[in-house]
């Protein structure tokens, strides 16, 4: 009897299995059809998102365009951090490259220092010097003093774009909130006047005299003020002391006050209470170079009004000084 029942149930189970399998296949086919309909009905925004090509450069990001529209500072002396050598790019400092400029602006810098040198054929370019050490730092084959075209055709550290003065001024026009601080290094009259004659000619080519409102010139001794004035209508000045071995702070303070020079730049090892009291007493702000540690900036902030830095941004320093730096870690005080 049991064997008869078993034989009867076997075909019934097989039929049930076949029906369930057919139903499963049918449901699967229906789901696939629905998925195809939804995909074909996607809106234009979805289609564009799916087909949009990757950015050719991070500088094409819309945020970068917004940065270009930001209003200028009320005064360049309000900025707590100046980006040294146009700032850092991909962790590399001292490149004075187009990429460093854009990276610094993207990270919030409004005041950028740039090293300037004349090429062998008399053009002003963004470079620290022509020494072998600079070629090593920039990962280039030593070539002495380059001409302009060779300079522009020689990548910096293989990846970054060199800047001549025309390219730098073009970036300033593109980013109207950015100031440039010159570091031209030369201190003999002939070289100084040649550099600032080249700068003046470049501003003329840019056809925008208002650029002078955002160009800050560093001088290294008192005579340099008159030499620069003979070649360029400069209105913004910094007196930088790294080339003066034993500075007389009272004389420097008096000179800066009488010539409307609002900032004196010193090395951190020069900073002391007597010097700070003297220069502040004559109305100057004190900037310190080159400082790359937030702790050091915090410890010097009793006397320093600002800093040059390769990597620290204004918002990072303000966060430390205001006690809000923990917000970078997603916490609050």
How does pLDDT run across 207-223, given as a tens digit for each residue?
Answer: 999 999 999 999 999 99
Query: The pTM is what?
Result: 0.78
CB neighbour list of residue 262: distance below 8 Å, 6 or more residues apart: 77, 237, 256, 283, 284, 285
Nearest-10 Cα torsion for 314, 320, 323, 329:
90
d(CA 126, CA 117): 6
Q: Among 168, 256, 274, which Cα is nearest to 218's?
A: 256
State the residue for tokens 């303000």.
318
DSSP-assigned states of every residue in 120-154: TTS-EEE-S-SSHHHHHHTT----SS--HHHHHTS
Token representation of residue 127? 């470079």
Domains in the chain (CATH in brackets) are 79-329 (3.20.20.190)
List Cβ neighbours of 79 (8 Å cut-off, separation of 6 or more).
Answer: 73, 110, 111, 179, 306, 314
**Which pLDDT score is estimated for 34?**
58
Query: 316-327, pLDDT tens digit by residue?
Result: 999 999 988 765
Give the pLDDT of residue 310.
98
Q: What is the pLDDT of residue 325?
A: 74
Predicted local distance difference test score (pLDDT) of residue 175: 98
**How large a percentage of the chain has pLDDT more than 90?**
74
Please state the three-class secondary structure of 215-235 as a single string. EEEEECCHHHHHHHHCCCCCC
pLDDT of residue 4: 41
Find the Cα–Cα–Cα–Cα dihedral 251, 256, 262, 265, rounded to 10°.
-50
Q: Could you identify the residue written with the tokens 């800047």? A: 163
Give the integer Cα–Cα distance in Å for 228 and 191. 11
Q: 40 near 32, Cβ under 8 Å?
A: no
Residue 20's pLDDT is 61
pLDDT at 324: 81
296: how many CB neighbours lie within 10 A of its CB? Answer: 16
Pairing of strands 111-118, 124-126: antiparallel
In the chain, which residues have pLDDT < 50?
1-11, 13-14, 37, 39-69, 329-333
Q: What is the DSSP letter of 70?
A: S
103 in Cβ contact with 152 (< 8 Å): no
């Amino acid at each position: 009897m049991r064997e008869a029942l078993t034989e009867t149930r076997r075909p019934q189970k097989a039929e049930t299995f076949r029906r369930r399998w057919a139903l499963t296949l049918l449901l699967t086919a229906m789901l696939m059809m629905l998925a195809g309909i939804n995909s074909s009905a996607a809106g234009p925004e979805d289609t564009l998102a799916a087909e949009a090509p990757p950015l050719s450069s991070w500088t094409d990001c819309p945020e970068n365009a917004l940065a270009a529209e930001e209003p200028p500072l009320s005064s360049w002396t309000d900025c707590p951090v100046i980006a040294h050598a146009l700032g850092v790019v991909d962790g590399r400092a001292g490149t004075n490259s187009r990429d460093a400029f854009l990276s610094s602006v993207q990270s919030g810098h409004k005041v950028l220092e740039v090293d300037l040198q004349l090429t062998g054929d008399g053009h002003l370019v963004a470079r620290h010097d022509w020494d072998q050490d600079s070629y090593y730092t920039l990962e280039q084959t030593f070539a002495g003093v380059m001409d302009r075209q060779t300079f522009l055709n020689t990548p910096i550290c293989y990846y970054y774009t060199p800047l001549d003065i025309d390219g730098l001024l073009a970036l300033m026009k593109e980013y109207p909130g950015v100031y440039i601080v010159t570091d031209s290094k030369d201190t003999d009259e002939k070289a100084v006047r040649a550099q600032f004659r080249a700068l003046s000619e470049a501003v003329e080519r840019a056809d925008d005299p208002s650029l002078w409102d955002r160009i800050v010139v560093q001088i290294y001794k008192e005579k340099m003020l008159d030499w620069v004035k003979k070649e360029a209508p400069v209105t913004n000045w910094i007196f930088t002391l790294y080339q003066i071995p034993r500075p007389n702070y009272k004389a420097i303070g008096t000179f800066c006050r009488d010539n409307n020079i609002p900032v004196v730049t010193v090395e951190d090892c020069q900073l002391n209470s007597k010097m700070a009291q003297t220069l502040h007493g004559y109305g100057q702000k004190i900037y310190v170079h080159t400082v790359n540690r937030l702790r050091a900036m915090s410890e010097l902030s009793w006397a320093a009004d600002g800093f040059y830095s390769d990597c620290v941004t204004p918002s990072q320093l303000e966060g430390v000084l205001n006690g809000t730096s923990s917000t970078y870690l997603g916490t609050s005080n």
